[in-house]
Chains A and B, each alone.
Chain A
Amino acid sequence: SAVISQKPSRDICQRGTSLTIQCQVDSQVTMMFWYRQQPGQSLTLIATANQGSEATYESGFVIDKFPISRPNLTFSTLTVSNMSPEDSSIYLCSVAPWTDTNEKLFFGSGTQLSVL
């Protein structure tokens, strides 16, 4: 299985500031995804991070608010811009495995963000 490292694991930020979350995978992967989990809620897909092209955003999420970078096949960042308390969530990076396995997605341990 993939080893996915997310940084930071948690942070407390002031409203109006931005936070960049890093996701590092121990092997090259084609597909990387960013999910958000608001308090007491399920996971909502923010975007698909494509290597070499712009990210593909889901309905309700825009690039200005959640810019994503994917400079290579092992790394991606998600920035939460101009934060408000409503952005307080767990943000999860996930990757599709490159080997034949029943496990559809591997997940990082997440970044717990609190916005004051």
Chain B
Amino acid sequence: SQELEQSPQSLIVQEGKNLTINCTSSKTLYGLYWYKQKYGEGLIFLMMLQKGGEEKSHEKITAKLDEKKQQSSLHITASQPSHAGIYLCGAETTSTDKLIFGTGTRLQVFP
């Protein structure tokens, strides 16, 4: 079965610093989804990547999918306390609508 490994598990950065979160799949990704979860809340959709080499940006967050479609990275530029939360990558399985999720990265941003 497909597995998603995220690194790092947790991250504590000072406000204004850049950071990167990685998501590595054991199999080729058919669709890769990034979500953010505020502590104890539901998930907020950030971005979806599908094509090898694809890159998308929204405000200060950029996500990339490598050419082999087995690794994705999420980069936050000039982090702010509002970026704090748990970042989850989700992978589309081949034949259904369900997603499997990575191990998660807990981000804390201090002033």
Contact = CB atoms under 8 A, between A and B. Distances in A.
A and B: real partners? yes
A90 B92 CA distance: 22
A99 interface: no
Interface in B47-83: 47-48
Given A42-B104, A48-B96, A104 B31 contact: yes
A102 B33 CA distance: 9
A98 B99 CA distance: 16
Contact of B104 (A41, A90, A109): A41
Contacts of B47: 102
B42 interface: yes
A33 B43 CA distance: 14
Most buried by B among A41, A42, A45: A42
Contact of A42 (B92, B98, B101): B101
Contacts of B98: 31, 33, 45, 48
A108 B99 contact: no
Interface string A30-60: 0101010000011111001000000000000
Interface residues of A, number: 24
The dominant DSSP class at the A interface is strand
B8 to A, nearest CB: 14
Interface in B91-108: 92, 96-104
Given A107-B42, A109-B41, A96 B97 contact: yes
B42 A110 contact: yes
B104 to A, nearest CB: 4
Given A48-B96, A90-B40, A110-B40, A103 B45 contact: yes
A41 B102 CA distance: 9
Interface of A: 4, 31, 33, 35, 41-45, 48, 90, 92, 94, 96, 102-110, 112
Interface of B: 6, 31, 33, 35, 40-43, 45, 47-48, 88, 90, 92, 96-104
